[in-house]
Structure 1
Amino acid sequence: MENRIFDEKNGLWYEKQGDYYLPCLELPEEETKPVGIWGQRHAKHLKQNHKVLYMNLLTSGKLNRYLADIDEQAEQLFLRLVKELSEKEKVTEKLKAENAMLWVGKMNEIQARAREIVNAELIYS
């Protein structure tokens, strides 16, 4: 008996494994885009908490594009929040020139708040 057979009804190839014929399945080709830290965090969250959605995206070949989009949205939101918060709290280049350590402390605090907002609204929701 053959090791590989083709089923014309469903258009699939089957390969013999032991006493059984198993379908030869492959994931569809996926356009690869770079996924940054935000997308990686979201992927980890999906794997742990939304396994069905993660597997659906993975098997349909849309996972990378989805994560790259989330990453881009998160980065834009983060930058916008940092800019808005620094303007609101008057953390400017003038402050940076006058008191660099105060500026660094305030910018670190603003960035931490912006990260928390992005995490809550996009990454872990």
Structure 2
Amino acid sequence: MKIWVLLLLVAAVSTKRFTKCELVRTLKAAGMDDFFSVKHLLYLIFTYLIGMYTEHYGIFQINNRRWCSDGKFPGKKDCPFTCNQLFSLQNSIDCAKIIVQKLGMTPWKGWRYECWGQDVSKYVAGCGV
């Protein structure tokens, strides 16, 4: 019981909440604009982050079939992380960079069907970018 409480406490302490603009600045500082427009990434995050998928991990909802390993789909994965490691923002950023380098934004179906070619500047409005 004490270990469970300790794990919950550690998880609660290590969780970082971002305002929209803090997240924009964090993604820009991590070089995400060099890979794909931060405003499109924010669209993806704000539209699809809310537990829509059970087989997608981290802030960018990265799929476990090709990109990360959770034991359900054997084989080599393109990102060097387990799926649970994608709950680290830095690991998610690093994996998203790999995905965008290989395939652009097309692996994210929501982006492909609803965002591609749309004006999504409202997602970074007021953040000075």
- Give the structure-2-normalised TM-score: 0.31
Higher relative contact order (CA 8 A, sep 6+): 2
Name the one with the larger helix percent: 1
Structure with the greater alpha carbon radius of gyration: 1
- Give the structure-1-normalised TM-score: 0.32
